[in-house]
Structure formats: C-alpha cells, structure tokens
C-alpha cells in the first residue's frame, strides 16, 4: 500500500510519499519481523540506560518498558499489523509504541540510530543461532558417540577412492565424524566469542553527544563489551559472514556423511538400515525405501554455501559505514540458519535410529584383498624384506587370488611359497580382518582399544 503522505518517522523534509515500487524495494518488514524479540530487547536495554544516565526520566523509561512489553505480546500473539510503509521492524515497533504510550515513545530513539539498532538486533539473532547450532552439534556428536561405542570393534572396509583399502572399525568411522563435527563446534564457539561486542550506542556512525553508557547496554544484552569503534560497529557484518562460513563447512561435513549413508543404505552395500522414521517410500515401486532425509541433508550445502557467497558479494566493496545494501544480509542468514538447524536435527535423528548391519560390514571387510597391507607388513617384519619388495610379492599374491577368484586367506601355503619360499603358516595370522584392525594400535588408529579411548576422551570433553 502506498502512503500519499511522507513517512511519519523520517519524512520531515519530504513533500510526498514513496512510489509503490520504492516502498516495495525499500521495505524489509516482510522478513526482519523475525528479529522482533531482539529489537524489543535492544530497545528495553537502551531505554533503561537512558534513564540510568539521566538522559530521559524514569517515568518515561517505565512507560517505554511497559509499552514495549505490550508490543512484544501483541507480536507473539499474532495480533500485530506489520506495515511496509513503516519499512522495517524498528519503525514498526516504535510506531506502535507511540500509539500505545504516546509522547514518551519519541524519546526512545535518543542517542541511537537504526544503524546501531539493526546491527545489535541482527547480532543478537545470529548469536541465538550460534547457540542453537552448538546444541545441535552436541546432540549429533552424542548420537555418533553412541554408535561408536556400540560398534567399537565391528569390522568394516575402509576406503580410499571408494575402493576397498584396509579394514577399519565401525566405531572408528563414526569417530571420524565426531572429529569433524567437533571442529564445527569449536568454530561456532570461536565465532560466538569474537562477535560478542555490542554495537549499540555507536548511533548513526560517529557515536553520540548524549552522556550514554555503552557498558550498561552491552551488559544488559549479554555482550562482553561495547564495540570499540563506532564506524566499524555499524558497518560490520563479519559476525554474519563467520556464521555462514562455519555453517558452510559444517554443511559440507553433513553432506559427506549423508552421501555415505545414501551409499551404505543401498541394497548393494547394506551396511546400514535407516529407520522408517527417516525414510520414505515410492508411490510406484512398492519395494523402495528411500533415504530422502540423507539426500536432502546432502543438498542443503547448496543453499547454505549460496548464502555465504551471496553475503560475501553484498559486503564486497562497500564503503564505510552503513549502506542500504546491508539490508540484504538477513534473508540469506535466516534461510541458512533454518536449514542448518534442520539438517543437524535430521542427521542426529537418523544417526540415533540407524542400525549398522554388523554381518554385512564384516563380510565386506574381508573382501577386496583388504588385508594386503598386513601381508606386506608381515613380509617386512618376519622375513626382513625391504617394504618395496614386500609390496611386489604381495601384489603377485593378490593377482593369484584374483585369478583364482578367492581372497587372500583362501590361498594355500604352497601357492604362497611359489611366490616367496620363506613364507610360513604364521602368515595366516595377519590375513584375518580382526587381527588387522586389532594391530592398528598407533595413536588415532582403528584398533578397538584406540577407538574406545577416543570415545572416552570425547565423553570427557563434552562432560
Ligand atoms: N532495515 C534496515 C536494515 O535492515 C535498518 C537500518 C536502516 N538504516 C538506515 N539508515 N536506513 O538494514
């Protein structure tokens, strides 16, 4: 709706209201209403500080406080009429406050600008999302730890190039993701600590001549301190970029894990069975059970990294300080946050519910000559061969097994001795996958004893 009169909040010098298209491109209320709670929290802190420093009277501050609570309850109840003529959440809230409490509402914006206001609101919103991401990651890590603990000694093939490489344990594979999501967790915590400075009181860009106390508002809003440079405070969106960067890396991790689940749940692999709760059927093929949640998680990185790229490009080349370009920050972050949290929750649910098929894992672990490296190591350790020679002898034995259509432990001793005369019966002790994984006891290796130690370490970290 186009207002024919000039804007009631800033229209003093304007004779006419905006064109309908101008209003459409300018308004952010369609999306920034998601920051209503943060906006009202910021305004309450600001008003209380203005009273504490004597800039406004206690009675005005009290009227503002009560009025803001009424506005908040109206918004929460869905009783609030948002107006795009009022552009954004800041002016929608203030205009409604004026309707409710009258004249004192006009004093709320003393020593403040929408520039420090929006930076504050958005930071508070992103901070909440970092906290939500932290919870989501902790829940996912704990689900992975349960899987790792249950299957610390279940053998499965380890892959490079998606070709069978060496036997590993299910627990070890789960713990690899614990490390990855653990780094995501530390990125989230780092980002939160770095962003936790209050922009409020930077005003439009230069600070203010009113005797405000920025420590009071910073403390009231849970910030560690006020941001030290007013120009930077209103133009900084690093916190949003860091949020999106951390989200993007985590989304990459989620997509890699999702891809493994898609492969592992296929009829060809059968490594895992996903629960009915996290699968869907096909409307035409009755036998199908599709890993849709995993596929969607695999896809989420597209929009999350897209948001990261988009905001990087919005911010690129912007001169200090605030430019309206920066209004384009929010939708990207909102969408990425919604999808990140959803992907984390869906992955946690899938991991908690899934069943690792121990027998299929074990059968696959022994195929594909997975203990060839153990054989080569035996030739080095027991017969004293140089590793390169041992590699060659083993390769010859693999070729023999391949042409016979059997696995390495199925070769007879005499056949092996044709390739190298000194091989003894003892070699069979290293050809079994259990022995193979049990022998990988180096720190961080796949031996169950190491896997269990890492599970305990992580349980200690998570407390
Ligand atoms: N809606 C604006 C935004 O999201 C709020 C800040 C407006 N500031 C201004 N000087 N026009 O960025």
| Helices 170-195/448-462 angle, 10° precision | 30
pLDDT (0 to 100) of residue 4: 52
The model's pLDDT over 52-83, given as tens digits with 9 standing for 90+, comes to: 999 999 999 999 999 999 999 999 999 999 99
Query: Which residue is associated with the tokens 């890396």?
Result: 249
For the question of residue 245 being annotated catalytic, the response is no
Q: Please report the atom of ligand 1 found closest to the CA of residue 326.
A: 12
pTM across the whole model: 0.93
The model's pLDDT over 118-152, given as tens digits with 9 standing for 90+, comes to: 999 999 999 999 999 999 999 999 999 999 999 99
Interval 5-30 mean pLDDT:
86
pLDDT (0 to 100) of residue 2: 42
Ligand 1 surroundings by CB, under 6 angstroms:
28, 32, 88, 114-115, 118, 322, 324, 326-327
Residue 286 has pLDDT above 80, yes or no: no
Exposed, middle or buried by CB within 10 Å (0-12, 13-18, 19+), for 288? exposed
Q: From atom 1 of ligand 1, which residue's Cα is the shortest distance away?
A: 88
Residue 18 has pLDDT above 60, yes or no: yes
Cα–Cα nearest to 272, from 190, 436, 150 = 150
Pocket test for ligand 1, best of 38, 94, 118 (most atoms within 8 A of CB): 118
Alpha helices in 316-463 (DSSP H): 330-353, 358-366, 372-383, 387-404, 413-419, 428-431, 433-439, 448-462
Instruction: Quote the CA–CA distance of 39 and 77 in Å, as a whole number.
Output: 17
The model's pLDDT over 400-427, given as tens digits with 9 standing for 90+, comes to: 999 999 999 999 999 999 999 999 999 9
| Helices 114-150/330-353 angle, 10° precision | 10
pLDDT (0 to 100) of residue 153: 97
For the question of residue 173 being annotated catalytic, the response is no
Q: From atom 4 of ligand 1, which residue's Cα is the shortest distance away?
A: 327
Q: Please report the atom of ligand 1 found closest to the CA of residue 122.
A: 4
Interval 424-447 mean pLDDT:
94
More confident residue, 386 or 289: 386
The model's pLDDT over 228-265, given as tens digits with 9 standing for 90+, comes to: 999 999 999 999 999 999 999 999 999 999 999 999 99
**pLDDT category, 1, cuts 50, 70, 90?**
very low
Q: Please report the atom of ligand 1 found closest to the CA of residue 32.
A: 4
The model's pLDDT over 202-236, given as tens digits with 9 standing for 90+, comes to: 999 999 999 999 999 999 999 999 999 999 999 99
């Amino acid at each position: 709706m186009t207002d024919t009169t000039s804007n009631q909040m800033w229209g003093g010098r304007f004779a006419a209201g905006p064109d309908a298209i101008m209003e459409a491109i300018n308004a952010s209320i369609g999306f920034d209403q998601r920051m209503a709670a943060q906006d009202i929290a910021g305004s309450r802190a600001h008003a209380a500080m203005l009273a504490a420093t004597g800039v406004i009277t206690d009675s005005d501050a009290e009227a503002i406080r009560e009025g803001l609570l009424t506005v908040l309850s109206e918004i929460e109840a869905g009783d609030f009429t948002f107006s795009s003529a009022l552009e954004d959440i800041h002016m929608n809230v203030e205009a409604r406050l004026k309707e409710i409490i009258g004249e004192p509402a006009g004093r709320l914006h003393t020593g403040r600008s929408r520039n420090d206001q929006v930076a504050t609101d958005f930071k508070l919103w992103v901070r909440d999302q970092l906290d939500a991401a932290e919870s989501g990651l902790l829940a996912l890590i704990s689900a992975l730890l349960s899987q790792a603990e249950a299957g610390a000694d279940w053998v499965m093939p380890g892959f490079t190039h998606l070709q069978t490489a060496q036997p590993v344990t299910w627990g070890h594979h789960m713990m690899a993701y614990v490390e990855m999501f653990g780094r995501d967790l530390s990125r989230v915590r780092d980002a939160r600590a770095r962003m936790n400075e209050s922009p409020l009181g930077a005003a439009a860009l230069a600070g203010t001549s009113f005797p405000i106390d920025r420590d009071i508002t910073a403390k009231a809003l849970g910030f560690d301190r006020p941001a030290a440079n007013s120009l930077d405070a209103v133009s900084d969106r690093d916190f949003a970029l860091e949020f999106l960067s951390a989200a993007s890396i985590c989304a990459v991790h989620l997509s890699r894990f999702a891809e493994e689940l898609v492969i592992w749940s296929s009829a060809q692999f059968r490594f895992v069975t996903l629960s009915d709760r996290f699968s869907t059927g096909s409307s035409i093929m009755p036998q199908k059970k599709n890993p849709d949640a995993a596929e969607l998680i695999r896809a989420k990185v597209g929009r999350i990294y897209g948001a990261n790229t988009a905001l990087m490009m919005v911010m690129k080349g912007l001169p200090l300080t605030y430019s309206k370009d920066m209004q384009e920050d929010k939708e990207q972050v909102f969408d990425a946050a919604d999808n990140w949290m959803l992907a984390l929750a869906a992955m946690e649910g899938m991991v908690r519910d899934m069943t690792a098929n121990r027998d299929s894992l074990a059968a696959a672990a022994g195929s594909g000559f997975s203990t060839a490296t153990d054989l080569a190591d035996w030739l080095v350790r027991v017969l004293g061969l140089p590793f390169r020679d041992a590699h060659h002898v083993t390769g010859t034995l693999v070729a023999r097994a391949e042409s016979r259509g059997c696995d390495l432990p199925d070769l007879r001793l005499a056949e092996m001795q044709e390739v190298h005369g000194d091989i003894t019966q003892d070699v069979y002790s290293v050809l079994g996958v259990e022995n193979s994984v049990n022998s990988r006891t180096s720190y961080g290796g796949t031996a169950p004893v190491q896997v269990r130690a890492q599970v305990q370490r992580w349980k200690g970290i998570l407390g």
